Structure 1
Amino acid sequence: MPQDRRNIYKIAREAKGLTQEAAAEKLGISDSSIRAYETGQRIPPPEVVDLMVIAYDSQLLGIQHLRASADMARSIVPDIREVRLPEAIMELLDRVYGFVDAHRDRELLRIGKDGIIDDQERPIFDAIVAELGDLVEAAMAVRYAKQGHLEEGVE
């Protein structure tokens, strides 16, 4: 597991405001297991991560765990970082508008409508697919964005 991802479990737990002891109780595991996961001594099994996602209210943790624990997932699942909702929305819309304004949607349709990508079309197609990957990443950032909550009686 890469060094920079070892604390994803601690970050998610602390964001929920739980102590290691409270998290261990919620998850039905020992305090020492929590410590081992948070220091990178052990990787939590999928069923524990499933419980963490629920207990910590963090779907992002599930994505981070998947990317951190499986090489194939790193090549398929975008690296989503948690950002504030307004920032995520602005980034997504900027990418969508840029894609459409550059007529990439029309280029993709022109290239793909016959089901064949020839040697001349290949570089353009590959570039468009990369841009679509960036759009997917931006959309996922919106889905998992840090959202503010209104306090009762406050607008």
Structure 2
Amino acid sequence: MPEEHRNIYKTARRDAGYTQEAAAEMIAVSVESLRAYENGYRIPPNDIVERMAHYYHTPQLAYQHLQETNSLILQIVPQLQERSVLEMAVRMYLRLSQFQQAHSVERLMAMAEDGRIDDQERPEFEAIMDDLREIIQSGLELDVYA
């Protein structure tokens, strides 16, 4: 079966080197439940996925699970891409440097001084927020995939 169509729970377990029996015992579910999750018959609850991610040493499993089971995540959390650690670190550094060089914190503080963002400030505020979202995305990629 092509990699992109494999079950994320099964892939994570196999990559961690566990049998279904060993994994089921470790995450405190029945083998039948684990099979149902891995065959796509049932969606595991978040607490089970949290244990899987912990014991399989795959924090990206939690992100993948939320992405596949909750459409709201993309409204809050940016789409993450797996990259090399070097690429993620460089992207993070460059985005932070650009943010600092543009004096974005100072500009944001000047806008926020009166406690509101007015219509004139809105375009600049949105541009700063776009930059912050890229910084957050870079940090999350580093956290999830490193």
**Corresponding residue SS for 2:48:** helix
The corresponding residue for 1:153 is: none
Give the paired residue count: 143
Structure 2 residue runs without a partner (length 5+): none
Residues 79 and 37 (structure 1), Cα distance of their counterparts in 2 relative to 1, 3 Å cut = farther
Equivalent position amino acid for 2:60 in 1:
L
Mapping for residues 100-115 of structure 1, pairs under 5 Å = 100-115=100-115
CA-CA distance at 1:5 after TM superposition: 8.6
Residues 124 and 36 (structure 1), Cα distance of their counterparts in 2 relative to 1, 3 Å cut = same
Greater helix share, structure number: 2
Conserved in 2, the CA contact under 8 Å of 1:5 and 1:68?
no
**Corresponding residue SS for 1:71:** coil
The corresponding residue for 1:86 is: 86
User: More displaced, 116-125 or 36-45?
Assistant: 36-45
CA-CA distance at 1:37 after TM superposition: 2.0
C-alpha distance after superposition, 1:46-65 (max 9, x if no partner): 23112212211222222322
Equivalent position amino acid for 2:115 in 1:
G
C-alpha distance after superposition, 1:98-153 (max 9, x if no partner): 2222332232222222212111111111121122111111111222233xxxxxxx
Give the superposed CA RMSD: 2.4
The corresponding residue for 1:99 is: 99
Give aligned-pair identity as a percent.
39
Q: Distance in 2 between matches of 1:46 and 1:128?
A: 33
Residues 90 and 118 (structure 1), Cα distance of their counterparts in 2 relative to 1, 3 Å cut = same
TM-score normalised by L of structure 2:
0.80
**Corresponding residue SS for 1:115:** coil
Conserved in 2, the CA contact under 8 Å of 1:92 and 1:138?
yes
Equivalent position amino acid for 2:61 in 1:
L
Residues 114 and 11 (structure 1), Cα distance of their counterparts in 2 relative to 1, 3 Å cut = farther
Conserved in 1, the CA contact under 8 Å of 2:20 and 2:35?
yes
Conserved in 2, the CA contact under 8 Å of 1:59 and 1:144?
yes
Moved over 6 A (4+): none
User: More displaced, 127-136 or 74-83?
Assistant: 74-83
Conserved in 1, the CA contact under 8 Å of 2:8 and 2:61?
yes
Residues 91 and 14 (structure 1), Cα distance of their counterparts in 2 relative to 1, 3 Å cut = farther
Q: Distance in 2 between matches of 1:52 and 1:28?
A: 10
CA-CA distance at 1:6 after TM superposition: 7.0
Q: Distance in 2 between matches of 1:69 and 1:40?
A: 12
TM-score normalised by L of structure 1:
0.76
